[in-house]
Structure 1
């Protein structure tokens, strides 16, 4: 039996890793790969994308997707009109998958198999939009100094956010409550949205303007991101940890 490009793509998609199964398929790949090829735990990619598209115009923009996993937001940014996406992912199986898929689709995606360096990467480049989804709370684990204390890690997370202030116009930021994904290591004492929002506001006050904060709400079994309000700022444990993570859209002051 001849092995086709589609077979290779499916094989790469099924490779296991610490963060495999984190993203659903983008629209462009649903004709090539059946979603029942593998079980996925949705992190509400479509709902987050809907929020982004209501807030940001991707037309003609250069986009940087850090920790792009299997490329959902990378491919969807191209579909939304981005002229180029730089996709950065440390896992070789994921980056190989995106590389193969973008070749098949003919999408303008620059695939970089590496962990982003928040001290030196992008120094001589400028990007229109940076996607920093659920990366920085892994500082000290997937990247960065593993010997850092939690307090040192929080300061380095602030530095990582501000690193982009003179390198992009818009940054989309989402982070988790648990340091390095460890449920026993809360970054904020009570694990609340208010604490995280205060942290981001404090970190960004000099270099960024917070354009909007999207908060997931559930109604009739459906999740939708809405603008921050007095009602949805409360933590709702019934939604689970992920749907208590706000999405910040930051505009550079630089």
Structure 2
């Protein structure tokens, strides 16, 4: 089987409906458009972020788009975690096809399973959203990231949500899930929530500089552990 045929088979085995980022074969033919929003992910202006020589975990890695990105940017070792076994199987096959060393993939529900190791940098890209937040997983996800991150954390998420519209619940119902949340004029600021959640041990070093006229746009946030 040719490499292109193998990648096509991976797409068929995983399924178009859960592949998050676009996937191409070796001739740059698009095999999957990806179900994620076009401008989700690490901001282009984040290109100065230094991955060189670092160990990195990519939580909710899907087929490894950002796992491979960190490796390409000089990370010494990158481990991608995802709770979907067939996604991890596909990511492992892609790494073998690309002949990439220093990248691993493991099946793990990082929001509920304790960390078995820590990394210089933890990444949480395109994971926090309406479904995870409304189902009460926001804090477990943030804790899962923090427990695996020694020095840095890199996150992308939409900064503002309308509680009733986006979560399908009243403000009182939302506050039962997250008593520490602050709601102003019907809006919940995930950006403020994350900053406050990590405030004691972490400082924000970067926020996306520009916010396009698109309510789905996700900001990139970088945390560094305080000395």
Given the two structures, how large is their TM-score scaled by the length of structure 2? Answer: 0.74
Quick one: which of 41, 44, 47 aligns to 1:53? 47
Determine the C-alpha separation between the residues in 1 that align with 2:108 and 2:16: 15
Tell whether 2:125 aligns with 1:171: no
| Deviation, structure 1 residue 160 | 4.0
1:7 and 2:28 equivalent?
Answer: no
Report deviation, 1:42: 5.3
Deviations 1:217-236 (A, max 9, x none): 44xxxxxxxxxxxxxxxxx4
Name which of 20, 34, 55 aligns with 2:29.
Answer: 34
1:78 to partner: Cα distance: 1.1
Once residues 198 and 51 of structure 1 are traced to their aligned partners in structure 2, the CA distance between those partners, rounded to angstroms, is 21
Aligned counterpart in structure 1 of residue 127 of structure 2, from 135, 148, 151: 135
Deviations 1:90-145, CA, capped at 9 Å, x for gaps = 223322221111112221211102322455123xx33111111232445488xxxx
Following TM superposition, where does structure 1 have runs of at least 4 consecutive aligned residues deviating by more than 6 angstroms?
none
8 Å CA contact retained: 1:65, 1:85? yes
1:111–1:33 CA distance, 2 compared to 1 (3 A): farther
Answer with 68-77 or 4-13: which moved more: 4-13
Q: Which residue of 2 aligns with 1:208?
A: 202
> Going by fraction, where is strand more abundant, 1 or 2?
2
> Unpaired segments of 5 or more residues in structure 1?
219-235
Aligned to 1:232: none
Do the aligned partners of residues 75 and 161 (structure 1) sit closer, same or farther apart at CA in structure 2, a change above 3 Å counting? closer
| Matched residue, 2:215 | 240
The aligned runs of 1:115-194 (5 Å cut-off) are 115-118=109-112, 120-122=114-116, 125-137=117-129, 138-139=131-132, 150=136, 153-157=137-141, 159-164=143-148, 167-176=149-158, 183-185=166-168, 189=183, 190-191=186-187
Structure 2 unaligned runs (5+)? 175-181
Distance 2:219 2:43 in 1: 13
- For residues 174-233 of structure 1, give each alpha carbon's deviation from its aligned partner in whole angstroms, at most 9, with x where no partner exists: 235669xx93437775346xx222212211110111111115444xxxxxxxxxxxxxxx
Kept after mapping to 2: 8 A contact 1:174/1:246: yes
SS at structure 1 position matched to 2:166: coil
CA contact (8 A) 1:88 1:112 kept: yes
Q: Give me the CA root mean square deviation.
A: 3.2
SS in 2 for 1:134: coil
Are the equivalent residues in 2 in contact too, given 1:24–1:45 (CA < 8 A)? no
Q: CA deviation at 1:81?
A: 1.0
Name the structure 2 match of 1:16.
15
Aligned to 1:106: 99
